Structure 1
C-alpha cells in the first residue's frame, strides 16, 4: 500500500513540476514566405508514452497563454488525465516562451515576422513528428485560440490523430470576432505599443471574457475601482508586441480557405467533438455550431452567463464530456 501511495505521489509531483523544454526548428519558413530565424518551440510533457505510442494527446495553448498555465489539463482530475495519456502542451508562437517578438535576438519586436494559426500548427507538428518521433497522436484538444489551432489540425494533418476536441474555439473568424481583435490591435498600434495602450487593451479583453450580466452580478459598483486597479497593474506585465503578433494570427484564421464547410467535411478523418459557450462574447460560437451540424459530430453547449469563461464555471460538465469522448 505504501509503495502504491509513493508511486501515486510521484506521478502527481511529475504533473505539477514538468520542466519547460524546447525544440529548435532552425530557420522556420512561414506560409507567407517570411522566416523566423532560430525558431524555438516550447513545450512540457506529462505522463508516459505507452509501449505502442498510442496514447499521446497534444494540447496547444490559448491566446497569450503558456504551457505552465495550461498544465492543469494534465491533472488526473482534469480532462486529459496524465496517468492515462502522454500529454504534450505546446507553447504557441508569439506567447513569449516559443519564438516571439519579445524574445527574438535578431527579429526583435516589430521586426518579427507575421505568422498565422496554420504556422502554429505546422510548428507543433514538427515538434511532435520530428523531435518526439511520434507517427500518430491519439488526440488534439485546446481551449480558445488553442481551439482554433485544434480546428486547423483537423485539415492540416487529417490522418495524424484519432480524435479532435476544439473547446470554445472557432473554425473561422466571424465579422464580430474580427472587429474585436482588430480593435485591440488598433489600440496597440496607435498607442505605439505603450503600457498605456496595453492598459486599455487589457480592460477591453477582460470585459469580453465574461458576459455583461456576469460582470454586473459579480462586481458591485463599490468594488469597481479595485477591479480597474487590478487590471491596470496586470497590464504592466503584458508584452504589447507578443500580444499584437497573436492578434494578427487570429485575424487571419480560417480553416476553409475559400471552400465551404460542406466541401471540407469529407476531408476530416478524425472523430470530432466540439464544445462552445452560447453566450461567448469573445469567440463567436456560430461557425463552430454550424460545422458540428455539417460534420454530424457531438456538440456540447456550456450554458450559463460566464461567456468565454464557461470552461471555468462549467468545468465539471466540460471535463465529464471530454473524458467520456477520449476514453471511449
Structure 2
C-alpha cells in the first residue's frame, strides 16, 4: 500500500525502501523479492551517534513509536540515529498486498523470526554491525526479545513494551476472532464495511473498560455514544487503506510465536530467554486484554539483566502508545534513563 495519510503526532521522516533479494523463510519457502521499508530519524552518515532500531506492532507502520521519538524524548535524534523498520506483512515492507511476484494468498506465510531475519539482512545492507538498542511495542516488543535470542551480540539493550515471549492462548483466540471478522468481510464493497467488525473487536480489547468510556466521552463529535465512536474509529481505519490480508498474515506469525522455538533451544522458552545477554527493559500495564500482563512479567523474570516497569494507568494495551499521555511521559523518562546508562558511540 501507499504510505497512509499522516495522523496527528506522526513524524514525517525520510522514508526508504531497500530491495534485498530473496529471503529463505523458516518454513522452507522463499520471499522472491524482499523489500524492507524503513525511516531514519537522524543520519546514518553520522557515526558519532549510536544507532537504535525501532520495531512496529501488528498492523502498524514505522509511526508506531513516534511517541518516543523527538527532542527531549527517549529516542532523541540529537543523541541517537533511530532506524524504524516496517515489519514483513504491514503493507509497506514485503506483504501479500504489494508483492508483484507472489501476490495475495500466493505470498508465503512468515514468522516473527522471519521478520527479525529480514531486519538483520537490512542491517547488513546498511552496514550496521551492532546497535545500542532495539525498541518495540506489542509485536514490536516480541520482535525485540527475539532479536536478543537470535542475535545475542547485536544489541546492547532491548526495550520490550507490552510483549510476550510465547504467544498466550488468550491472544491467539483474539487474533482468530479478528481473522474471522476480516475474512468474512473481505468481499464487502467498502473499506468501512470490511473493517467494521474488526475495529469493534480490537478497539474494545486494546483498552480497559474505563479507558474506552473515557475515550467515548472525550470525543465531542459522537455525543458520548459508543456506537458512534466505533463508527468514527472505523472511518479512521478505512482511511489508512490497509489490506485486511496483510493483518491476517501478521496475525498468523503472532499466534505461532515462541522464542523457545529458536534454533538450539528445543522449544524451551525459559532457556531461550535466559540466553539473552542484552540489558532488557520490559513494561506492562495493570491490565491488558490483548497480551496478558503475566506474559510480560514472566518474560522479564527469565532474563538475567532485566528491569520491569508496571505502568499504573487504566489504558490496557494502549498504555504503550501516544494514546495515554501520562504513560507516554513515564515511558519516555524511564526509557531515556535506561538508554543513558551506556551510551558510547558504536
TM-score by length of 2: 0.84
**Further displaced range: 254-263 or 19-28:** 254-263
Give the match for residue 216 of structure 2: 219
Give the match for residue 249 of structure 1: 253
1:288 lines up with 2:283 in the alignment: no
1:48 lines up with 2:43 in the alignment: yes
8 A Cα contact 2:68 2:332, kept in partner: no
* Offset of residue 289 of structure 1: 0.5
SS of equivalent residue, structure 2 residue 132: strand
Q: 1:319 aligns with which of 318, 325, 332?
A: 332
CA distance in 2: counterparts of 1:289 and 1:253, whole angstroms? 17
CA distance in 2: counterparts of 1:261 and 1:199, whole angstroms? 36
Over aligned residue pairs, what C-alpha RMSD do you find? 2.1
* Offset of residue 228 of structure 1: 2.6
1:96 lines up with 2:91 in the alignment: yes
Structure 2 unaligned regions, length at least 5: 1-9, 218-222, 342-346
* Offset of residue 53 of structure 1: 6.4
8 A Cα contact 1:54 1:138, kept in partner: no
SS of equivalent residue, structure 1 residue 219: helix
8 A Cα contact 1:262 1:294, kept in partner: yes
TM-score by length of 1: 0.89
Alpha carbons of structure 1 residues 225 and 16: separation in structure 2 relative to 1, 3 Å? closer
CA distance in 1: counterparts of 2:48 and 2:151, whole angstroms? 18
Map 1:72-221 → 2, pairs under 5 A? 72-128=67-123, 130-192=124-186, 194=188, 195=191, 196-220=193-217
1:238 lines up with 2:242 in the alignment: yes
Alpha carbons of structure 1 residues 166 and 127: separation in structure 2 relative to 1, 3 Å? same
* Offset of residue 179 of structure 1: 0.7
* Offset of residue 293 of structure 1: 1.8
* Offset of residue 48 of structure 1: 3.5
CA distance in 1: counterparts of 2:108 and 2:43, whole angstroms? 35
8 A Cα contact 1:49 1:86, kept in partner: yes
Alpha carbons of structure 1 residues 265 and 40: separation in structure 2 relative to 1, 3 Å? closer
The structure showing larger relative contact order (alpha-carbon pairs under 8 Å, at least 6 residues apart) is 2
CA distance in 2: counterparts of 1:248 and 1:79, whole angstroms? 31
Give the match for residue 300 of structure 1: 309
Structure 1 unaligned regions, length at least 5: 1-14
Give the match for residue 18 of structure 2: 23
SS of equivalent residue, structure 1 residue 256: helix
Give every structure 1 segment of 4 or more consecutive aligned residues whose post-TM-superposition deviation is greater than 6 Å.
none
8 A Cα contact 2:148 2:278, kept in partner: yes
CA distance in 1: counterparts of 2:337 and 2:78, whole angstroms? 16
CA distance in 1: counterparts of 2:267 and 2:144, whole angstroms? 18
Alpha carbons of structure 1 residues 169 and 291: separation in structure 2 relative to 1, 3 Å? closer
CA distance in 2: counterparts of 1:90 and 1:82, whole angstroms? 16
8 A Cα contact 1:49 1:85, kept in partner: no
**Further displaced range: 198-207 or 52-61:** 52-61
1:189-248 Cα shifts (integer Å, max 9, x gaps): 344464534210121111111101222344258422421321332343331111111111
